[in-house]
Structure formats: C-alpha cells, structure tokens
Amino acid sequence: MCGRYLLLSSPEAFRRLFGYAQAPEFPPRYNVSPTQPVPIVRLTEGERQFALVRWGLIPPWVKDPRSFSLLVNARVETVNDKPAFRNAMRRRRCLFAADGFYEWKREGSRKRPFCIRPRDRQPMAFAGLWESWMGPHGEEMETGAIITTAANRDIAELHPRMPAVLPREAFDLWLDCSRVDALTATALLDPAPEGMLDAYEVSVAVNRTANDDPALIERLPPPAASTGIAEAEASAPKPARKSARAKDDRQPSLFDDLM
C-alpha cells in the first residue's frame, strides 16, 4: 500500500510536469498523511486542472463518512469491480503529484521505514481516483485515493505493493474519461520501471504524522556496515599486555616520556 508520501518539488516544477494553467503556491511536505488535503490533477472541460482533495476516498453513496473505512488506496486488480471505485474509474480518474513515498519493511515484530524516490529526484505522478461526496445538509467534500499495483523487483523486498506510477506520455489517456474507457485505462497501470527508484532506510520519526521536516528523508547508514565493524573489532586479536617494567624499544611510543 501507500500510506505516506512526499511533495518536495517547487510548485512551478509540478506545473511544468502536469501542464495545468493555474499557478498555486504550496510548501514542501515531507510526510503527507491520510485525511490531509493533497494536490491532484484532473481533466475539466478538456483542460488539465489543479485541485485539492482530502486523501481518503468517500463514494457518493456513503451516508455517514465517520462510519466508513478510510480508502487511501485502490488495488488495480479490483478497481473496476469494487463498488467504492468502479464509477470513479469510469468517470473521475486523476493524477496525484508526488516526489516519492514511504514503505515499511517488516522484520518479525519490527517495521523499518524506507524512503523511496526517483533516482533523478524529479517529480512524478501516481495514478488516482477522485469523488465528490454530498452530505444530507448540502455539505460537499472532494476526496481521492491512490491506485496501487504489484511492486517491481526493486521494491518487492521491502513491500509487495507500490503506487502505480504513470509516465508523462500516458497522462492524456489516463485523464480523458470521456474517450478512454476504464479497461483501456487499466492497461496503463504498471509498476515503475526497474532502476527508476532509489530506496533507503530513514528514521522512525516518520512514523509520527505530526513530524514533517527535511530530517525525515535523511539516509540512515546501512545497519550491516556498523555491525561489520563491531564484529571485526570483537574478533581482532588483542595485543598482549605489557609489563610495567618492560618496554618494547622496537616500537617507541608517544607516551614513553610519561612512563
């Protein structure tokens, strides 16, 4: 799944990638979390449009969002069948602006967080869906979900799922719901190409949604490296203890004058 992601590029860099007319300003985000407002790109009257939606899709037939499960992801394998996503897949496809995402590698009862970003550090697009929910008193809320697919080989050792990353040349086909049917659009949803992404371990500080600063994406040193040093030091032969009365004249010491 994808439960946290990154928005680091400048607003102008995202505007160049997606080609929308608006010029919104928004700060970098290092720990985007469910229920927060997130930027998407959708097609409105034939033009690409920037919009903010709540991350966590609510289908229009839901009566009380408070009693409905949070749908932050939609699996590509079932996106055309599940009632929660079926209509959005036909009529309300969108792109999530992103610079990467986090995933957690399970090791027994422990989960190690990893940051996954494009190697060229350029912004990218996750395939997504959006919906508009209308409440009984006229309240309205637009929400969205990221579509996930099977992880490529680079990511599979961390987690079996990853966001579906769309290349720029697929944007028009994905967004044009009036001309491109859902099944045809589904064929665009592939894992990211091998070698595109850089995955590295980061601090467990990312586990707290309240944390949102550049320190979250700093690379941790590989645990194997520190372990190897400790093991080498432990297995190295220890020098024989010298008698206080004897000196080794062959290896003068800087401390000889103090003895």
The residues assigned a catalytic role are: 2, 103
Q: Which residues make Cβ contacts (< 8 Å) with residue 232, sequence separation at least 6?
A: none
Contact assessment for residue 179 and residue 98, using Cβ atoms and an 8 Å cutoff: no
Contact assessment for residue 95 and residue 71, using Cβ atoms and an 8 Å cutoff: no
Residue with tokens 């969108």: 94
143 — phi, psi (to 5°)?
Answer: -135, 165
Contact assessment for residue 63 and residue 76, using Cβ atoms and an 8 Å cutoff: no
50 — phi, psi (to 5°)?
Answer: -80, 140
Contact assessment for residue 88 and residue 175, using Cβ atoms and an 8 Å cutoff: no
Q: Which residues make Cβ contacts (< 8 Å) with residue 1, sequence separation at least 6?
A: 72, 73, 148, 159, 161
